Amino acid sequence: MRFVDEANIIVRSGKGGNGSASLKRAKNLPKGGPDGGDGGKGGDVIFRASTRLLTLYDFRVRSMFEAENGVNGKGQDKYGRNGEDLVIEVPVGTMLLDVTDRSADPDDADDPVLLADLSRADQEYVVCPGGIGGRGNLHFKTSTNRAPKHAETGKPATEKRLMLRLKVLADAGLLGLPNAGKSTFLTAVSAARPKIAAYPFTTLVPHLGVVENANGRRLVIADIPGLIEGASQGLGLGYQFLKHVERTRFLVHILSGQDADPENPEAGYAMLNEELRVFDTELAAKPQIRVINKIDILEPERLAALRQNAPGDILFVSALTGEGLDALLTEMWRRFDELTPAEEPEGEAPDWTGETEA
């Protein structure tokens, strides 16, 4: 299954059925009047957030969705059947953006209208209501017009062009250069199994892992592809995935000990923080836990210099051997408790698998 986080589709509701202009025809009713029934209502187009889905790939395969039309009314007071609603399931975290008028107004081409943000399981939103059915001629009988020969036509369907944009839901986002050890960390603390190898850009799609404590509480961690300098100008792979950590409560900024300057360990975090700022100032302002990883492969002298010159808030870990992970998880739980409203329910999140789209 390919990971796809954006798709453009067209949705159309059902049109309303026409009312009937029938007149009674029977030997025993020489003055038969109108008996035309109403047309049925067209089906709505409804989007529903589902935890069963992980990607928008299906919407690259199919891009046109139509609800059923309402059935026309008939004589003998027979009302047309309502059209069946079309329920479209999308992954939790999908945003529905209306781009219907973008071609008409080029100035708004980069500013689509947000219709709904389906951030909760089973949340629904009616994008296109179905057309109302037309009334039959039995509704138009009056004392002066006992045999009306006209009926209403059903209301037309509603059509919209939509951009679907998926932003995964997680509590903590892993940030770092390629090969910083983010995937190894996610594997060490959760059941997620992202691809791990000793070369850059191993992670090509976002992955989610769930950490559960002794009380059954869950902390969802998102691992996105690594960023490089110049990502804001389109270099590398990770910049297009930064939107997947926009919803997180805090970031875990991981720096490989091999990339850290022993004389000034803090300097290694500046470059990616600048890329965050260029992308989104609100994302750059999120709380961060700073980590130096891969201490198991550092020479003792280099590690000692890093520890000596690093501020006290930088944590040293080895995701491969597990050294320092308990302290890091303790700090992550502390931040989670600090930033999570007490009344907010805990939710489950799926685990990302699959390959990126070429």
CATH number at residue 351: 3.40.50.300
> In this structure, are 148 and 185 located in the same domain?
no
Distance CA 348, CA 336 (A): 15
193-199-203 Cα angle (round to 5):
40
pLDDT for the residue 180: 84
Contact 154, 180 (CB under 8 A): no
Contact 265, 308 (CB under 8 A): no
- Residue partners of 283: CB distance under 8 A and separation at least 6: 242, 245, 246, 276
Sign (positive/negative) of CA torsion 59, 53, 208, 114? positive
| Residue-wise pLDDT tens digits, 300-336 | 999 999 999 999 999 999 999 999 999 999 999 999 9
Residue with tokens 């159309």: 12
What is the model's pTM? 0.70
Instruction: Grade residue 239 by pLDDT with cuts at 50, 70 and 90.
Output: low
Q: How many CB atoms lie within 10 A of CB 228?
A: 18
Beta strands in 122-244, from DSSP E residues, in sequence order: 124-128, 159-166, 172-176, 207-212, 218-223
Contact 326, 318 (CB under 8 A): no
> In this structure, are 72 and 196 located in the same domain?
no
> In this structure, are 151 and 190 located in the same domain?
no
Instruction: Grade residue 243 by pLDDT with cuts at 50, 70 and 90.
Output: confident
Q: Please state the φ and ψ torsions of residue 331, each to the nearest 5 degrees.
A: -65, -35
> In this structure, are 133 and 184 located in the same domain?
no
Which percentage of the chain shows pLDDT scores above 70?
80
Average pLDDT, the chain: 82
> In this structure, are 116 and 186 located in the same domain?
no
Residue with tokens 């909760």: 120
Is the predicted pLDDT of residue 221 greater than 90, yes or no? no
pLDDT for the residue 142: 85
Instruction: Grade residue 241 by pLDDT with cuts at 50, 70 and 90.
Output: low
Instruction: Grade residue 200 by pLDDT with cuts at 50, 70 and 90.
Output: very low
Last residue of a domain, one of 136, 166, 196: 166
pLDDT for the residue 349: 47
Is the predicted pLDDT of residue 357 greater than 60, yes or no? no
Distance CA 69, CA 107 (A): 35
Q: SS3 helix, strand, coil % of the chain, rounded to 5?
A: 20, 25, 55
Judged by average pLDDT, the poorest of 59-68, 234-243, 272-281, 320-329 is: 234-243
> In this structure, are 158 and 177 located in the same domain?
no
> In this structure, are 220 and 156 located in the same domain?
no
> In this structure, are 243 and 109 located in the same domain?
no
Q: Stretch 261-274: mean pLDDT, rounded?
A: 90
pLDDT for the residue 13: 97
pLDDT for the residue 158: 95
Helix (H, G, I), strand (E, B) or coil at 152: coil
> In this structure, are 188 and 207 located in the same domain?
yes
CA 330 to chain centre: 29
Please tell me the total count of domains within the chain. 2
Is the predicted pLDDT of residue 238 greater than 80, yes or no? no
Q: Stretch 81-98: mean pLDDT, rounded?
A: 94
Print the domain residue range for 131: 2-166
Is the predicted pLDDT of residue 358 greater than 50, yes or no? no
Last residue of a domain, one of 150, 166, 182: 166
Look at residues 198, 171, 128 and name the one whose alpha carbon lies nearest to residue 333.
171
Last residue of a domain, one of 121, 148, 166: 166
> In this structure, are 153 and 282 located in the same domain?
no
Highest mean pLDDT among 10-14, 73-77, 266-270, 354-358: 10-14
CATH number at residue 142: 2.70.210.12
Is the predicted pLDDT of residue 351 greater than 70, yes or no? no
pLDDT for the residue 247: 82
Contact 118, 96 (CB under 8 A): yes
Distance CA 11, CA 34 (A): 37
Is the predicted pLDDT of residue 352 greater than 50, yes or no? no
**Residue 250: HSE in the Cβ half-sphere, 13 Å Cα cutoff:** 18
Q: Are strands 172-176 and 250-256 parallel, antiparallel or unpaired?
A: parallel
> In this structure, are 155 and 128 located in the same domain?
yes
Q: Are strands 124-128 and 207-212 parallel, antiparallel or unpaired?
A: unpaired
> In this structure, are 138 and 247 located in the same domain?
no
Instruction: Grade residue 218 by pLDDT with cuts at 50, 70 and 90.
Output: confident
Letter string b/e over residues 336-347, b meaning 16 or more CB atoms within 10 A of that residue's CB: beeeeeeeeeee
| Residue-wise pLDDT tens digits, 336-350 | 988 877 544 444 444
- Partnered with residue 289 across adjacent β-strands are 252
